[in-house]
Amino acid sequence: MLLKASPALSLLSSTGGGNLFPPSRNSSNLLFSPSGSRFSVKAAKGTKSLTGVVFEPFEEVKKELELVPTTPFVSLARHKFSDDSESAINDQINVEYNVSYVYHALYAYFDRDNVGLKGFAKFFNDSSLEERGHAEKFMEYQNMRGGRVKLQSILMPVSEFDHEEKGDALHAMELALSLEKLNNEKLLKLQSVGVKNNDVQLVDFVESEFLGEQVEAIKKISEYVAQLRRIGKGHGVWHFDQMLLNEV
């Protein structure tokens, strides 16, 4: 099928009557000029030719290709992950497991038949599982970044938590508060390792997953300690235990 140009379009190819579109410049130093029935775009003198290419992946990726490991025992995923960060994460895994172990010992103590505080037993068992979950989360992150998880020794906790002056309930909760504050210090140290090594991913992981939750736990247990100090060692401990038992 043949298409005929309209009279208006035929003006573009006309040689008479002067140029319908005289040469002009725009703000980008580009020269627009008619060429017969077509238009051409030329760069003005003194400017670089336009290629439209800002990112040349096949050129820039060459240096990364040279860094891809070829041995089977080296992580392929590891990128911008320092040895200091890897070591600090393994240390934090050990901290989380140790805290979990102490909480588990507290659970076993309050679950005894001659202690019989099921609410405290439930609280410390849940706390133990939570800290173990934190350790596993750090292990997953270590593997995701291409590090190697190295589990370290865990110290054996004490098994008796009675206190002649304070009683076992207040003594145990004060111990829990101290452990949460210690864990918070360790997390802040891990975050500072990430800052020192310009590891933005590690800093974001610690801040978004742990630090907020940690200060909330410190606030909650601080209130428990204050309440138990008011109650003393008497009948009120049983009512506090029932509160913990029924807490969701």
Q: DSSP for the chain?
A: ---PPPHHHHGGG--SSS-SS--EE-TTSEEEEEETTEEEEEEPTTSPPP---S--HHHHTHHHHHHS--STTS-SS--S--HHHHHHHHHHHHHHHHHHHHHHHHHHHHTSTTT--HHHHHHHHHHHHHHHHHHHHHHHHHHHTT--------PPPPS----TTT-HHHHHHHHHHHHHHHHHHHHHHHHHHHHHTT-HHHHHHHIIIIIHHHHHHHHHHHHHHHHHHHHTTSTHHHHHHHHHHH--
Tokens at 148, concatenated:
């190697």
Say how many C-beta atoms besides its own lie within 10 A of residue 28's C-beta: 9
**For residues 4 and 232, what is the distance between their CA atoms, to the nearest angstrom?**
102
For 227-238, what is the mean pLDDT?
95
- Statement: residue 78 has pLDDT above 50: yes
Determine which of 70-74, 82-86, 89-93, 139-143 has the lowest per-residue pLDDT on average.
70-74
Q: Is the pTM higher than 0.85?
A: no
Is residue 244 within 8 A of residue 125, CB to CB? The reply is no
Mean pLDDT of the chain: 85
pLDDT digits (tens, 9 = 90+) for 85-120: 999 999 999 999 999 999 999 999 999 999 999 999
**For residues 127 and 139, what is the distance between their CA atoms, to the nearest angstrom?**
19
Place of tokens 């020269």: 31
For 9-23, what is the mean pLDDT?
48
For 117-134, what is the mean pLDDT?
98
Residue with the bigger pLDDT between 74 and 167: it is 167
Residue with the bigger pLDDT between 79 and 138: it is 138
pLDDT digits (tens, 9 = 90+) for 191-229: 999 999 999 999 999 999 999 999 999 999 999 999 999
**Predicted pLDDT at 192:** 98
Which residues neighbour 245 within 8 Å (Cβ) at sequence distance 6 or greater? Answer: 118, 119, 122
- Statement: residue 13 has pLDDT above 90: no
- Statement: residue 45 has pLDDT above 90: no
**Predicted pLDDT at 61:** 73
Is residue 82 within 8 A of residue 190, CB to CB? The reply is no
Report residue 19's pLDDT band, with 50, 70 and 90 as the boundaries.
low
**For residues 126 and 197, what is the distance between their CA atoms, to the nearest angstrom?**
35
In percent, how much of the chain has pLDDT > 70?
76
- Statement: residue 176 has pLDDT above 70: yes
For 73-91, what is the mean pLDDT?
92
Is residue 238 within 8 A of residue 190, CB to CB? The reply is no
- Statement: residue 10 has pLDDT above 50: no
